[in-house]
Structure 1
Amino acid sequence: MTAIADRPRTERNEPPQWTGALLRISAVALVAAVWISSAIFGAYILAYYGGAIPAGTMEQWNATLPALYEPHTPMASAGMGLHFLAGATLLLLGPVQLIGAIRTRAPAVHRWIGRVYAFAAFAAGVGGLTFILLKGTVGGWMMTIAFAAYGALMVLAAVETVRHAMARRIEVHRAWAIRLFALAIGSWLYRIGYGLFFAIGGRDNPGHTDTFSGWFDYVMD
């Protein structure tokens, strides 16, 4: 009893060594899952939405959300097409920018990918805002305000990320870059949220309606 009592407090309170290793493995697995799934989603956007443009089958956009494509609103369709293509670029390139080894060992690669990424973010925001300005959203004023704010924040974060990088304010640049990445994966998280909601409650759950006016729709806005 005396020997146990005489042990240093830090020694008695230290967690087992395997917990640290398990935490690191869990973190790597979580990041890998996010990166892989977001890349798959980005590739899907390019194939499904982007592929419809040269194929002339843009009507298929309306299978996921009504009125995304209408022949009599070509500017709105162009804005949405830009939003899709730029958004897919963000999902595919974003994880690469977070790899520390690339930033330290290949800074030129990091900078060039960053330029493409920031331009894509700016384009995605402008494209989405163009569509909203010309047509609004299917979910009414609440969705319109929320999505417009999202697009405006995307544009702001892209501009600030580049501005601080050019001024060599690296820490501020990184902070804005992280904000930009968080915004960029927002569309992926949005669909993950709906996917889980439908998986749990079914497609006929009253929390969602075709006009996105259910209680869950408002939560997601």
Structure 2
Amino acid sequence: MSDIMTEKIDFLPGTTTKYPQKLLNLAVTIWFIVTTIGQWAFGIYIIAFYGASTASGELERWNEVLPHGYVKGDWKGNLIVGTHVLLAAILVVGGPLQLLASLRRSAPRIHRWLGRVYVSTAVIVATGGFIMVWTRGAVGDTVQHVSISIQTVYIIIFAWLAWRCARAGQFEKHRKWAMRLFMVVSGVWFFRVGLMCWLVINGGPAGFDQRTFSGPFLTALAVLVYALPVSLLLLELYFYARKAIKPVEITAIALLIFMVAVLMAIGVFGAIAGMWLPRIG
């Protein structure tokens, strides 16, 4: 966003939208910093936990996090799970880098090649996740399973549109579809951060059963993260605010993005302290 997701916004001297747009740039910059810290922390956790357990041959440790993640004798299923999880590290590390306009300008070849890897990996990981949900006995209820399956459709469609627009030289459209792709690819991360934010604010589980990992809160969270992504709504509001001329609209959207960034920061802190660090410590 601003120099992160798109080009910087230029202002005419004396325009009434100058300061609201600066506020918007500040809000999305904070959002991006929080997201980058959170996603890279998640990537370090993936590599440290799954990579180390895989390298040491202790594949059964996957089941500490993923129920039925490792099934003895099922080498095909285990390969799908392992590939899905370890490739996810590429997405959470490479995703924020792809949003940097400065990287796109200074190192376009790196941006293009990383983009190709990101798009291909996103499709592979999403497909692997779909297979895992319906063949490995994933936790949660049917609504959660259907919601994350819908996310797979989003990822495949957005990846194709981002690639097609880039091939056609329609770079403004490409950037928008790439941003939408980033939002839906980050769904699993958003779910974890949202859950940890909820736990921190409530001081523990509320609105769901820890044993079955189901309940009204988790069902609603899955729908709003995967099936009807709030992240996409926030992104479309940002697109609108960049071109809006009413200061009150721009300011309202900037404050909304800032509020979301604060909630995400709480969730990221909770995830690092309560979920990721303890498993790699």
Q: CA deviation at 1:169?
A: 2.4
Deviation readout 1:142-172 (Å, 9 max, x if unpaired):
2221121112322222222222212222232
Please list the CA deviations of residues 49-92 of structure 1 after superposition, one character each: whole Å capped at 9, or x if unmatched. Answer: 23222222222222224222222433332222222122111110
Greater shift in the superposed pair: 104-113 or 132-141: 132-141
Write the distance in 1 (CA, Å) between the matches of 2:179 and 2:17: 32
In structure 2, do the counterparts of structure 1 residues 135 and 168 end up closer, same or farther at CA, with 3 Å as the change threshold?
A: same
- Give me the TM-score of the superposition, normalised by structure 2: 0.66
Larger radius of gyration: 1
- Corresponding residue number in structure 2 for 1:96: 97
Which structure would you say has the larger RCO, counting Cα contacts within 8 Å and 6 or more residues apart?
2
Matched AA of 2:46 = I
Could you say if the C-alpha distance between residues 153 and 215 of structure 1 is closer, same or farther in structure 2, counting changes exceeding 3 Å? same
1:181 positional shift: 0.6
TM-score under structure 1 length normalisation: 0.82
Change (3 A) 1:198 1:104: same
Q: Which stretch has the larger CA shift, 157-166 or 81-90?
A: 157-166
Matched with 2:212 is: 211
Equivalent residue, structure 1, for 2:135? 134
Structure 2 residues without counterparts, runs of 5 or longer: 1-13, 223-281
- Structure 2 counterpart of 1:37: 38
Q: Is the 8 A contact 1:46 1:84 kept in 2?
A: no
> Structure 1 CA distance, aligned partners of 2:114 and 2:41?
19
Q: Which amino acid in 2 is paired with 1:92?
A: V
Q: Which residue of 1 aligns with 2:159?
A: 158
How far is the alpha carbon of 1:31 from its aligned partner? 1.8
Share of identical aligned residues, percent?
31
- Alpha-carbon spacing, 1:159–1:85, altered in 2? closer, same or farther (3 Å): farther
Question: What is the CA–CA distance in structure 2 between the aligned matches of 1:203 and 1:66, rounded to whole Å?
Answer: 22
Alignment partner, residue 7 of structure 1: none
- Following TM superposition, by how much is the alpha carbon of 1:180 offset from its aligned partner in structure 2, in angstroms? 0.8
Call closer, same or farther: CA 1:123–1:209 in 2, change over 3 Å: same
Quote the offset at 1:96 in angstroms.
Answer: 1.0
Cα distance, 1:77–1:26 mapped onto 2, change above 3 Å: same
Matching residue's letter, 1:94: G
Letter in 2 for 1:195: M
Q: Any conservation in 1 of the 2:91–2:118 contact (CA below 8 Å)?
A: yes
Q: Residues 113-148 of structure 1, C-alpha deviation per residue, up to 9 Å, x if partnerless?
A: 111111111111121122124224221322221121
| More divergent stretch after superposition (116-125 vs 20-29) | 20-29
Q: Which runs of 5+ in 1 are unaligned?
A: 1-10
**Residue type matched to 1:99 in 2?**
L
Aligned to 1:188: 189
Distance change >3 Å, CA 86–CA 204, structure 1 → 2: same
Q: Helix, strand or coil: the match of 1:77?
A: helix
Count, aligned residues: 209
